[in-house]
Copies of this chain bind each other. A is one copy, B any other.
Amino acid sequence: MSEPMFERVALIGIGLIGSSLARVMQRERLAGSIVACARRAETLAAVQRLAIADDTTHDPAEAADGADLVVVCTPIGAYAAVGEAIAPRLRNGVIVSDVGSVKQTVVRDLGPHIPDGAHFVPAHPVAGTEHSGPEAGFAELFEGRWCILTPPPGTDPEAVKKVGALWKRAGMTLETMTPAHHDHVLAITSHLPHLVAFSIVGTAADLEQDLRQEVIKFAASGFRDFTRIAASDPTMWRDIFLNNRHALLDVCGRLLEDISRLQRAIRWGEGEEIESLIEASREIRRKLIDANQA
């Protein structure tokens, strides 16, 4: 039997993504052992029940101790504290990676804690569901999806390759970009749609009681598509919004202008304007179908 890719893997945070990664590593026999770290006792109890890690601990430092791969899978807001906790226990040659949906602040918050001799390879496996927690994970979550790597300049290419190889085994296709570019692209493809979904569902939640009942009854006519992504984890999304503030506020401002333009055309009965705005958006849909992303 061939050697596993890593001797000891520490997963700091073991929710939907962390637990799915643990399942991939078990299926593919990529780790000699896996230690899962979580703050809450019930999360660790679930991990033990699911048998997706060899060891569990509340202490990030203990988890990182002796690991040759540390993957931070907590909400982004916890990264600075995690970095500070694990720094003294990182062994020489260890690879520190993560799975966060914003990359500039990851480099800012986690980067300074990475000692010389450790390799820092931030990654974003672009996959998920609206469910959260270790029970929600599954090994196939990543299949056919993209994983974006944003290694800082000068990172050891071997370490980058190793992290890439891990995500390839999960079924992902790799892409490398700068953290700033990543955050710009994800602001429009992921963060803005979530912001809008939370808002529109919130608008419905504020309706009078009887109307709200009917919104639920007739949700299938369009509204339902928005509620699915609006069911995502509040802490995770709070952190994403706060940490990708600039790119998100930029695209949100553009969207508000575009909604206002359509709103104005509706108010003034400008049929041709409305039709051409709708046509433009169909064009993008066609391109998605052409790119097999629909």
- Is A185 touching B215 in the complex (CB atoms < 8 A)? yes
Whether a CB of chain B sits under 8 angstroms from the CB of A180 is no
Among B211, B231, B258, B294, contact of A199 (Cβ-Cβ < 8 Å): B258
> Interface readout for A167-202 with B: 1 if CB under 8 Å, 0 if not?
000000001000000001110111111111111111
Q: A203-B188, A203-B251 are in contact. Are A217 and B293 (CB under 8 A)?
A: yes
Closest to A266 in B: B241
A217: shortest Cβ distance to chain B, in Å?
Answer: 7
Chain A interface main SS type? helix
Q: A221-B186, A267-B249 are in contact. Are A201 and B234 (CB under 8 A)?
A: no
- Is A192 touching B200 in the complex (CB atoms < 8 A)? yes
> Interface readout for A268-286 with B: 1 if CB under 8 Å, 0 if not?
0101001101111111110
> Interface readout for A216-255 with B: 1 if CB under 8 Å, 0 if not?
1111111111111111101101100110010011011111
- Is B227 touching A245 in the complex (CB atoms < 8 A)? no
Across-interface contacts of A193 in B (CB, < 8 A): 200, 222-223, 225-226
- Is A294 touching B227 in the complex (CB atoms < 8 A)? yes
A247: shortest Cβ distance to chain B, in Å?
Answer: 11
- Is B190 touching A222 in the complex (CB atoms < 8 A)? yes
- Is A260 touching B266 in the complex (CB atoms < 8 A)? no
Whether a CB of chain B sits under 8 angstroms from the CB of A207 is yes
Closest to A289 in B: B231
Across-interface contacts of A91 in B (CB, < 8 A): none
Among B197, B248, B284, B294, contact of A266 (Cβ-Cβ < 8 Å): B248
Q: A220-B126, A227-B285, A256-B259 are in contact. Are A214 and B196 (CB under 8 A)?
A: no
A-B contacts, 6 listed (Cβ < 8 Å) = A145-B220, A186-B218, A188-B203, A193-B225, A200-B258, A235-B275
